[in-house]
Chains A and B, each alone.
Chain A
Amino acid sequence: MKLLYFAWLRARIGCAEEEVELPPRVRDVAGLLDWLRSRGGGYAEALRDLSIVRVAVNQDYVGSEHPLREGDEVAIFPPVTGG
């Protein structure tokens, strides 16, 4: 699965994108965020407050219960500030 990070989440995690193999128990967005936090370091710091974390799957905003499938593009980023 391809993961993308933007803005301060990218800076804290330390990379813009990565390919990961999810453990079988990770089935949805909430599970993915828990699993990433368990990696510690920049992941734990970046994902400490999920109220300021947004997730898009295949370029659409989704909630924490959204199921994940092999081949999804998952982007994790802060609330947007364009315009």
Chain B
Amino acid sequence: MIRVQREDIDVGAALESLAAGNHHIGGVASFVGLVRNIGGADRVSALTLEHYSGMTEKKLAEIETEAHRRWPLDAVLIIHRYGRLAPGDRIVLVATASAHREAALAACHFLIDWLKTDAPFWKSEETPAGERWVEARTEDNAAREGWKLHP
């Protein structure tokens, strides 16, 4: 399931609903991304996330489909926020449910790596030096490419 929203993420409720009613599930893995208060050497007082409505949902659904293709998963949940956020705020929740932990943990890691390079979101940081767009990290591309070796 994919959700793109301005509102905060209720992690407890989301994780509980992921496995609710399916007693085949043996484990739920999750990743929560938060706004940091540092960007490079500067303090960050706020972050604004812009996205390409329509393509965002399409890419997230493709990534979800790819995870299902690679691992035996009972459920996948991706919730990503947009708008202006403060340090400590939740940005993203990725959660997976499976009969066994290996599939749930690996798929969760895969999903956040692919989301970072494929989902059309952009971050702009507010710092004492002014507002600036965050640059993509080459490490993120390397992390995505790493999953090609482990189908």
Contact = CB atoms under 8 A, between A and B. Distances in A.
Interface stretch (B21-29, B99-107, B114-122): B114-122
Interface in A55-83: 56, 59-61, 75, 77-83
B127 interface: no
Interface string A2-41: 0010111000000000000000000000000000000000
Contact of A81 (B52, B54, B92, B134): B134
B58 A80 contact: no
A78 B49 contact: no
A53 to B, nearest CB: 12
Contacts of A82: 49, 51, 80, 91-92, 115-116, 119-123
Given A56-B55, A75-B52, A83-B33, A7 B124 contact: yes
Interface in B122-146: 122-124, 133-136
A7 B49 CA distance: 9
B71 to A, nearest CB: 20
B122 A83 contact: no
Contacts of B136: 78-81
B112 interface: yes
Interface residues of A, number: 16
A73 to B, nearest CB: 9
A1 to B, nearest CB: 16
A80 B51 CA distance: 9
Contact of A7 (B50, B116, B119): B50
Contacts of A79: 135-136
B135 A81 contact: yes
Interface of B: 33, 49-52, 54-55, 58-59, 80, 91-92, 112, 115-124, 133-136
Interface of A: 4, 6-8, 56, 59-61, 75, 77-83
Shortest beta-carbon contacts, A-B, top 8:
A82-B121, A79-B136, A7-B122, A59-B55, A83-B116, A81-B134, A8-B133, A81-B123
14 contacts: A7-B124, A59-B52, A59-B54, A59-B55, A59-B58, A59-B59, A61-B118, A75-B52, A80-B116, A80-B117, A81-B135, A83-B92, A83-B115, A83-B121
